[in-house]
C-alpha cells in the first residue's frame, strides 16, 4: 500500500535488520521500527509494534532467519533451539507465527541462506494470498455494500493488502460503492486507530462505531455484510480472532447478516481439532485499566480510566463456532466452515 505516495510493506528485511511499521505509534505518527536481532524482533512482536496474523507470521519467520544469521559457533544448536522457543512464546494464539517459525527453522538446518530465502518466501506468499483473498471476497460485494469489520485485518495486519479489508480495496478498485463501519475494538482500539487510518489513507468512506453499537446498527438494517480476520482456524472450522468477534457472529445470525472470515491457509492449524484446543492469549490488565494518546503538542500521556482498587480481565481473543460462520474467504476461494471443507482445502 502507499503512504504519502510511497509503497510500503508492513514488515521486511534489510540485511540482518528487521524493519516494520511501528503500529503502536499510529495513527498519530508514521514511523519505521528497526530490530537488530531476533531478541529485539521478539520484543516488537510481544509489544505489538507489529501485529496481525500475517504480519506476525512474516516477522516471526524473519526473526528465526535473524537467529540463524547471528548464531554463534559455540553451542550453535542450543542457541537456535532457544531462539525458536523464544519466538514462539511471543503470541501463543497466532497460528501464522508457528507456521513461519517451523518452516524457517527446518530450512535453516540446510544453510543460513536457505533460512533467509524461506522467510522471504513466506512473506511473499502472505502478500500473494492476501491479494487473492481480495479477488474472491470482492464477489460478495454488490454495487453498493455496507460492510462491518472488527479489529484490523487490513494491510497493516499482513505484509500487504490484508484479509478482511482486501475485498474492500478490491471492490473499490472495481468501482463498486463501499462503505465501512470500523468497530473500535477495545481495549487497544485497533479498529479505531488502525483500520480507520487505513481507510482514510485509501479514501474509502467509513465511520468508527463503539463496540457496543454494533447490535443497534444491525437492528436498523444498516449492515449488509460482515467480514473479520482470523488468528487461528481449527480443523472443524472454529475460528479464533480478536476478542469481540464472537459477539459479532451471534448478532449476525440473529439479524440474518452474512458473516465471513477472511484468512489464508497458513492460519489453519492442522493439529487443532476444534476451538476448545486453541490457546487464548491473556494480555496485561493495564490495556483495560489505562488509555494512552498524545496531547496537542504530540506528547504521549497514559491515564487510568478505571477506579483504583478495581482489576480487569483481558483475553486477547475469543473463539467463534463454525456454525455461526457463513464462509471462509481463502486464497483459493470461499469455503464452508466445516471439517470436510477445511480438510479438502488443505489437501487441494
Catalytic residue positions?
A: 231
Which stretches of the chain are assigned E, i.e. beta strand?
2-3, 6-7, 11-14, 17-21, 32-35, 144-149, 177-183, 206-209, 225-228, 232-233, 239-242, 259-262, 290-294, 300-304, 317-320, 327-330, 333-335
Q: Please name which of 215, 287, 209 lies closest in space to residue 247, comparing C-alpha atoms.
A: 215
Distance between CA 95 and CA 116 in Å, rounded? 20
Distance between CA 224 and CA 94 in Å, rounded? 29
Residue 320 CA to chain centroid, in angstroms?
16
Grid cell digits, residue 112: 543460513
DSSP for residue 281: P
**Beta partners for residue 268, in sequence order:** 233
Grid cell digits, residue 49: 509494534
Q: Over the range 93-127, which residues count as b (16 or more CB within 10 Å of their CB) and which as e?
A: bbbbbbbbbebbbebbeeeeebbbebbbebbebbb
Q: Over the range 287-323, which residues count as b (16 or more CB within 10 Å of their CB) and which as e?
A: bbbebeeeeeeeeeeeeeeeeeeeeeebebbbbbbbe
Amino acid at each position: 500500500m502507499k503512504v504519502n505516495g510511497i509503497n510500503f510493506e508492513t514488515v521486511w528485511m534489510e540485511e540482518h535488520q528487521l524493519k516494520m511499521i511501528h503500529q503502536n505509534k499510529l495513527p498519530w505518527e508514521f514511523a519505521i521500527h528497526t530490530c537488530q536481532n531476533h531478541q529485539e524482533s521478539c520484543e516488537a512482536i510481544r509489544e505489538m509494534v507489529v501485529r496481525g496474523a500475517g504480519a506476525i507470521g512474516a516477522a516471526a519467520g524473519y526473526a528465526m532467519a535473524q537467529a540463524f544469521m547471528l548464531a554463534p559457533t559455540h553451542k550453535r544448536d542450543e542457541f537456535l533451539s532457544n531462539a525458536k522457543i523464544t519466538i514462539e512464546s511471543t503470541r501463543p494464539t497466532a497460528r501464522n507465527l508457528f507456521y513461519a517459525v517451523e518452516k524457517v527453522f527446518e530450512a535453516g538446518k540446510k544453510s543460513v541462506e536457505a533460512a533467509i530465502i524461506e522467510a522471504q518466501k513466506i512473506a511473499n506468499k502472505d502478500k500473494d494470498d492476501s491479494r487473492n483473498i481480495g479477488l474472491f471476497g470482492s464477489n460478495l460485494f454488490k454495487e453498493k455494500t455496507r460492510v462491518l469489520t472488527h479489529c484490523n485485518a487490513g494491510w497493516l495486519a499482513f505484509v500487504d493488502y490484508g484479509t478482511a479489508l482486501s475485498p474492500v480495496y478490491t471492490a473499490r478498485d472495481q468501482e463498486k460503492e463501499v462503505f465501512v463501519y470500523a468497530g473500535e475494538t477495545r481495549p487497544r482500539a485497533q479498529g479505531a486507530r488502525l483500520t480507520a487510518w487505513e481507510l482514510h489513507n485509501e479514501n474509502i468512506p467509513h465511520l468508527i462505531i463503539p463496540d457496543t453499537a454494533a447490535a443497534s446498527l444491525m437492528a436498523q438494517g444498516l449492515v449488509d455484510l460482515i467480514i473479520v480476520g482470523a488468528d487461528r482456524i481449527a480443523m472443524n472450522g472454529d475460528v479464533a480472532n480478536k476478542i469481540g468477534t464472537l459477539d459479532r457472529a451471534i448478532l449476525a445470525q440473529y439479524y440474518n447478516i452474512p458473516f465471513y472470515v477472511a484468512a489464508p491457509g497458513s492460519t489453519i492449524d492442522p493439529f487443532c481439532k476444534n476451538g476448545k484446543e486453541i490457546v487464548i492469549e491473556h494480555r496485561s490488565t493495564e490495556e483495560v485499566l489505562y488509555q494512552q494518546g498524545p496531547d496537542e503538542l504530540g506528547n504521549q500521556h497514559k491515564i487510568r480510566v478505571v477506579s483504583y482498587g478495581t482489576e480487569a480481565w483481558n483475553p486477547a481473543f475469543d473463539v467463534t463456532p463454525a456454525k455461526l460462520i457463513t464462509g471462509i474467504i481463502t486464497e483459493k476461494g470461499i469455503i464452508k466452515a466445516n471439517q470436510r471443507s477445511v480438510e479438502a482445502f488443505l489437501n487441494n
